[in-house]
Amino acid sequence: MKGLAILGATGSVGLSTLDVAARHPDRFRVVALGAQRSAAALREQALRFRPDVVALADPGAARELAADFAQAGIATRVLAGSDALSTLATLPEVDFVMAAIVGAAGLPSTLAAARAGKRVLLANKESLVMAGPLLMRAVAEGGATLIPIDSEHNAIFQCLPHAAGGRAGVRRVVLTASGGPFRNRPRETFRDITPEEACAHPVWSMGRKISVDSATLMNKGLEFIEACHLFGLDPVQVVVVLHPQSIVHSLVEYADGSLLAQLGAPDMRTPIACALAWPERIASGVEFLDLVKVARLDFGEPDLERFPCLALGQAAARAGGLVPAAVNAANEVAVAGFLAGRLNFTGIAEVIESVMNKVTGGPIGSIDDVLRADREARARALEALP
Ligand code: NAD
Ligand code: MG
């Protein structure tokens, strides 16, 4: 029986994780659930899964939930504040931590889980983008296991050799990209794209921030950086290929010419179940793939002029050091500005590029360096908003 903490429990990945865990009550016990401020959603989850403890980053929402639990006689403890998310990640009863908070807010709890030697199921790609070398070191030193949940990276994880020393024959990895909702939209209309259009992904159903990232292809830029850190690759060993059907989730190319792919229906419950049970395999509730119905798989080259955010992400990966943290922060501010109606769609790349042109960069010495780069880039991005 493995104790499970789900950070970001009320989000898209959090809900899919609970769905998989609920199918295997003999294997997983939900010990802790955390979120930002959705007290009502967390209350429902607590009633169903009876965790020992829940946490809300927002103190007001946590107070409300604690009062409600006391009145209803629910024994689950309620913790408050951002630090409480890290507390959940390090509880001795917790074996596996699902890191599914969105954005830079997920970094402290992800690091805490790694340092505590947990199995870290990493959906929060932003933490690797910001602090890749620090997080990978924390995993190694903490004796943690890091299993990627991002579907592309989980596919690569599945296709890589798992025997010790087996990486030698790996030549490159191929990240697939659906191309998002605007793959074929006339470019001169990009300025008119609304948040609702950007959040309506043709294949995946996700939270709003990652949906916008998928529409600008910044998501693939972040995933490019994520792949370099996770698998210890040089940026020249990571190739991005457009694949609109999102059936081939990514591939690993070997020295002998073999290309190994992982295929499946586009449903996050597959990578989640893979990471929860690894190296075993368990049912996930995902529909099985009917290749005859799929019939064809298309591949193409991404258009970097149409989607400059992908090029910016790749440039950040090549620059390394603190540049990815700055790009991630600028992207978070720009996306929030777009969702709030302050910035148009094409402005997202412009804001990120203007911040990137001004960042000091330099190597990552400590977490404080990363947090400073994050703060500076946010301030610059806010200045760049119209
Ligand atoms: P979401 O917006 O649906 O959910 C985000 C969750 O994080 C919510 O539970 C929210 O309460 C919590 N949260 C937000 N800010 C917080 C804070 N400051 N403190 C504590 N909790 C906070 O997002 P999502 O789509 O589930 O994505 C979560 C992460 O997984 C992102 O990093 C995303 O890039 C990654 N991811 C998601 C998918 C997907 O299919 N949704 C696929 C791959 C990777
Ligand atoms: Mg992905």
| pLDDT at site 163 | 78
Q: How many CA atoms lie within 13 A of 61 on its CB side?
A: 17
Is residue 233 assigned to a domain? no
Taking the CA of residue 7 as reference, the ligand 1 atom at the shortest distance is 21
Give distance in angstroms: CA of 220 to centre of ligand 2.
7
Is residue 228 assigned to a domain? no
Is residue 211 assigned to a domain? no
Residue 137, domain CATH: 3.40.50.720
Which residue minimizes the CA distance to atom 16 of ligand 1?
36
| pLDDT at site 168 | 85
Residues with CB under 6 A from ligand 1: 8-14, 35-36, 38, 57, 82, 85, 100-102, 105, 123-126, 150, 204, 206-207, 209-210, 268
Is residue 47 assigned to a domain? yes
Give distance in angstroms: CA of 64 to centre of ligand 2.
35
Is residue 113 assigned to a domain? yes
Is residue 214 assigned to a domain? no
Domain extent, residue 63, equals 2-148
> Within the chain, which residues score under 70 in pLDDT?
165
Alpha-carbon distance of 45 to 54, in angstroms, equals 10
Closest CA to 118 of 87, 157, 164: 87
Is residue 81 assigned to a domain? yes
Which residue minimizes the CA distance to atom 5 of ligand 1?
11
Give the long-range contacts of residues 107-113, CB within 8 A, separation 24 or more. Answer: 107/131, 107/370, 108/82, 108/83, 109/7, 109/34, 109/85, 110/135, 111/86, 111/135, 111/138, 111/367, 112/86, 113/5, 113/89, 113/144
Is residue 283 assigned to a domain? no
| pLDDT at site 360 | 84
- From 126, 153, 178, 206, the mutation candidate for ligand 1 (largest count of ligand atoms within 8 A of CB) is 206
Taking the CA of residue 105 as reference, the ligand 1 atom at the shortest distance is 18
- The pTM (predicted TM-score) of the whole model is 0.98
Number of domains in the chain: 1
